[in-house]
Each structure stands twice: as structure tokens, then as C-alpha cells.
Amino acid sequence: MKTETTIQGLAASLNPSRAARKIIGFVPTMGNLHEGHLNLVREARQLCDIVVVSIFVNPIQFGPNEDFDSYPRTLEQDQRLLADAGCDIVFAPSVEQMYGKKPRLTNISVGGITDDLCGSQRPGHFDGVAVVVTKLFNIVQPNYAFFGQKDYQQLAVIRQFVRDLNIPLEVIGVPITRAEDGLALSSRNGYLSAENREKAPVIYKTLKAAEQALLLGKALSEVLAEMKTALTEAGFVVDYVEARTTELQKIEQFNEDLVLFVAVKLGATRLIDNLQVKYPAS
């Protein structure tokens, strides 16, 4: 496994594969890798000839009061995990390598589906994601790009701008990887105190209980209200509890497949999770 830190170095590493028309798979990450990321790499390994993983903590997707500076950077450990998971090339550029010295004037925004859920709490976040992912797509030029469904809204945003801009690749969404107790894996779980880590699986339990209630016929609005109560009583500060169609449109009743979304704060740590609930075939 090679590690490249420059765009030019990566191009040189990839050119022979490109010339040989190999299938390139790409997993963009911010590092501090866990089993969720590694499952993306394994998925890429199965589908592609060459697997590229980027590790880049992207400053422009963090708000001024967010955790850009403290976001965990664990390159050596990440490299070991990636080698084991079957990655061929790690792309770990500096901020200057990605954004240069001249000011960036270009922005990409995806309307509609970024206005609520995480978008309303994190203004500019999805613009920053869209810009960096577009840049990385243009640098790596993969055939397939792999993203986790844990960041469901992010995945929807990426699918949208890939389609709108005719970016020549296929986006693959990979199901959420969970700890044994149900907590969705996230680099930010590492911020949790031992006590809060024990409490965190309540998020998934709440989602599963809501799924059961919906399948038993309870009204969606009631289910969402109960989720909010359950989370608040368990000690979470609820940012949002929402239901959307799989395409992120608002939904009032459980009359088609839907996704339940939760964002909470536990101590200073913001955690998100979601669960797709299939509408039963009649």
C-alpha cells in the first residue's frame, strides 16, 4: 500500500491503472478510521481493481464553533487498518495541497435537501462537503465512490450533485456499521465519557422501538413525539427527530418507505443516526 500526499504524486501512482482501464474505487474519509470506514473499503475491494482511500479533515465543512481543531488525526493507525482492509493507495493531502494559496472563489450548493435536518444546525456544512467531494472526485477520477448511510443526508446530497453535474462515476451507499450494543460507529464516539458511551445505544433502541410502533400502526406524528420524549428523558439534548422519504422529502404518514432521523447532543458530543423503515407490502 502506498501513501500519497500530493495531487501530482497520486496522479503518477494512478496513471498506470488508468491507462490499463482498471476499475478504480474511492472511499473519501476524514481519517480516525473505525469498522464503518473499513467496511466501505472492503466493499470497494470487492467491486474494484484499485482502491483509493483519502484521509483529509476538510476545514470548510466545519463551522466556526465546531471541532475542526480537535478532530482526531491518527494517520499511522489508519494506514495500518487500511493496509489490512485491502486499500491500495492512501491519499492524505495537506490543507494547502487541497486548497492552494490563492483564495477559493467557487462554491457548490445543493438546494432543498440541505435546508433542514443537519443543514439547519450546520450552515455551510453541505456546501463544504460538496466542494471537497467534487475536488476529490476530480483528483481521483474513480469509477465508484463509497459512502456510509450513517450520514444519510450527506449521501443524498452527493448523489444529487453527482447527477446534476453529470460527474462520471457511480455512488454506492453502504449500510451503517453498528457496535454490538447498536451504537452507530462514528469517529465522534471517541469523545464520549464512559458513562455517556453506556447511554449512547439508547439512540438505536429508540429508533428500533419507533420502527416497531410504526409497523403496529401507531401514527407517525405520535411515534416521533414519543422518540423525542424517550431521548430527552434518557438525558440527550434532542437536536431533531424527523421522518423523511428515502429521497428526503417531508412525509406526514407512514404510507411508503421512510427514514427516521435522530440528531442529539450527549455532553458536548453531537451524534446522528437513522433507520430505514420499509412500508409493508399489502
**The only residue of 2, 73, 80, 104 in contact with a copy of itself, by rule CB under 8 A:** 104
Instruction: Quote the DSSP letter at residue 178.
Output: B
Contact yes or no for 211/275 (Cβ under 8 A): yes
User: What's the rounded Cα separation, in Å, for the pair 117 and 248?
Assistant: 10
129 to 148: interface string for a copy of itself, x by CB under 8 A = -xx--xx--xx-x-------
69 is in an annotated binding site: no
* Residue numbers 164-193 binding a copy of itself by CB under 8 A: 164-168
User: CB-wise, 115 or 198, nearer to a copy of itself?
Assistant: 115
Size of the site for a copy of itself (CB under 8 A): 31
**Min CB(46)–a copy of itself separation in Å:** 25
Q: Site residues for a copy of itself, window 41-60 (CB under 8 A)?
A: none
Q: Least CB distance from residue 220 to a copy of itself, whole Å?
A: 25
Q: Taking Cα atoms as reference points, which of 147, 102, 143 lies closest to residue 129?
A: 147
Which residues, 6+ apart, have CB-to-CB distance to 196 below 8 Å? 266, 267, 269
Of 3, 4, 27, 37, the active-site residue reads: 37
**Rounded to 5 degrees, what are φ and ψ at 120?**
-70, -30
If one asks whether residue 250 binds a copy of itself (CB under 8 A), the answer comes out as no
Least distance (Å) between residue 156 CB and a copy of itself: 10
Cα(184)–Cα(180) distance, integer angstroms: 9
Residue 143's φ and ψ, nearest 5 degrees, are -85, -35
The residue (of 36 and 119) whose beta carbon lies closer to a copy of itself is 119
The answer on whether 32 is annotated among ligand-binding residues is yes
Give yes or no for residue 100 binding a copy of itself (CB under 8 A).
Answer: yes
What cell does 102 get?
Answer: 490563492
Q: State the nearest-atom distance from the C-beta of 54 to a copy of itself, in Å.
A: 12
Question: Does residue 216 interact with a copy of itself by CB under 8 A?
Answer: no
Residue nearer to a copy of itself on the CB measure, 101 or 252: 101
Dist CA 282 CA 273 (whole Å) = 28
Give the number of other CB atoms < 10 A from CB of residue 15. 10
Active site residue 37: yes
Could you tell me which residues are beta bridge partners of residue 250?
244
Among 112, 123, 175, 190, indicate the residue that binds a copy of itself (CB under 8 A): 112
Report the nearest approach of a copy of itself to the CB of residue 97 (Å). Answer: 11
- Half-sphere exposure in the Cβ direction for 157 (13 Å, CA): 28
Distances (CA, A) of 55 to 30, 74, 79, 178, 200: 5, 10, 10, 22, 26
Residues belonging to the binding site are 30-37, 61, 148-151, 154, 185-188
Residues near a copy of itself (CB under 8 A) are 7, 19, 21, 100, 102-113, 130-131, 134-135, 138-139, 141, 160-161, 163-168
Point out the residues that are catalytic.
37
